[in-house]
């Protein structure tokens, strides 16, 4: 009989190149099951991000006239595979997860909460970032910048729920768990990245400066006024919470360096709305 890991892999492979089917696999994981706590509300954040990825074209078949992204597809498939393997394991007496992230998803399924969801989701995402880092080299510079922004944002929202004082400082921390709840639309808007990049792939004909100038005011305030001043601490917290020390290879002296070179770190200092981002940093002191 195929293992839970093999069955999950087969389901993901069958959806490869079919965007609608991929989204269906992601959504079906959160369907209610008899005898288990309901988790349907938690799919909001994951599906919001995936739908936006689909609208960009990153999930298009790699063999099509306008191919998608090997990197984005690989990271997403790891997330889906981990979640489904955990669900399939709970349906059997077997308890042999193929990697640590599967264990985290099993913990979420048995005791759903915003914290257990982020620990599961981000364990899979970070594992995908580590495993497929070599694929990032094939992407355009703007896309590589976005990979770092996406990781930084999801780790920040993770901290909103798991360590709100770290994420929001000593004055606003009581709002952290509400703001970071993946069932709440506000978290989805920040994670979907619609306020950063155009809905197309690949990102030809656009520069980093144009991307930074186009980011909306709220996203800029959070990214540069709240996230970046504590980025080093956020990555250190996530590395410990996820038991993944390799995550620290993606941060250097407070600069995000997964796919973006440290030598070009000036992008992490906002040249737009400087006064507003400084005010955000003052309102959320560590």
Do residues 42 and 182 make contact, with C-beta atoms less than 8 angstroms apart? yes
Q: In this structure, how many other beta carbons lie within 10 angstroms of the beta carbon of residue 143? A: 20
The pTM score is 0.94
- The residue among 29 and 92 whose pLDDT is bigger is 29
Rounded CA-CA distance 122/105 in Å is 10
Which helix (H) or strand (E) is 131 found in, with range?
Answer: helix 114-131
For residue 269, what pLDDT band results from cuts at 50, 70 and 90? confident
pLDDT of residue 220: 78
Which helix (H) or strand (E) is 116 found in, with range?
Answer: helix 114-131
Q: Give 212-215 contacts, CB < 8 A, sequence gap 24+.
A: 212/267, 212/270, 212/271, 212/272, 213/272, 215/272
In this model, does residue 129 exceed pLDDT 80?
yes
pLDDT of residue 272: 64
Digit-coded pLDDT (tens) for 45-76 = 899 899 999 999 999 999 999 999 999 999 99
CA proximity to 126, closest of 274, 258, 265, 252: 258
CA proximity to 47, closest of 83, 3, 92, 2: 83
Rounded CA-CA distance 29/32 in Å is 9
What DSSP state is assigned to residue 193?
A: -
Do residues 38 and 32 make contact, with C-beta atoms less than 8 angstroms apart? yes
Digit-coded pLDDT (tens) for 156-181 = 999 999 999 999 998 899 999 999 99
């Amino acid at each position: 009989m195929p293992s839970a890991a093999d069955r999950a892999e087969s389901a993901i492979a069958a959806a490869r190149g079919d965007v609608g089917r991929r989204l269906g696999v992601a959504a079906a994981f959160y369907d209610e099951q008899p005898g288990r706590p309901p988790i349907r509300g938690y799919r909001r954040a994951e599906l919001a991000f995936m739908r936006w990825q689909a609208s960009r074209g990153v999930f298009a078949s790699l063999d099509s006239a306008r191919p998608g992204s090997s990197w984005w597809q690989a990271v997403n498939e790891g997330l889906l595979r981990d979640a489904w393997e955990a669900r399939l394991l709970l349906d059997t007496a077997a308890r042999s997860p193929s990697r640590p992230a599967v264990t985290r998803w099993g913990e979420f399924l048995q005791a759903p909460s915003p914290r257990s969801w982020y620990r599961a989701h981000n364990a899979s995402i970070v594992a995908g970032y580590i495993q497929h880092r070599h694929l990032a080299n094939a992407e355009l510079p703007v896309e590589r910048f976005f990979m770092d922004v996406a990781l930084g944002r999801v780790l920040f929202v993770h901290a909103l729920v798991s360590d709100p004082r770290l994420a929001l400082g000593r004055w606003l921390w009581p709002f952290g768990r509400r703001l970071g709840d993946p069932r709440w639309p506000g978290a989805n808007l920040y994670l979907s990245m619609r306020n950063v990049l155009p809905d197309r792939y690949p990102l030809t004909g656009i520069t980093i400066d144009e991307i930074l100038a186009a980011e909306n005011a709220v996203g800029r305030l959070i990214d540069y006024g709240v996230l970046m001043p504590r980025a080093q601490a956020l990555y250190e917290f996530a590395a410990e919470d996820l038991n993944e020390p390799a995550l620290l290879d993606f941060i250097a002296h407070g600069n995000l360096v997964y796919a973006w070179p440290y030598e070009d770190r000036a992008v992490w200092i906002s040249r737009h709305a400087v006064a507003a981002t400084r005010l955000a940093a003052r309102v959320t002191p560590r």
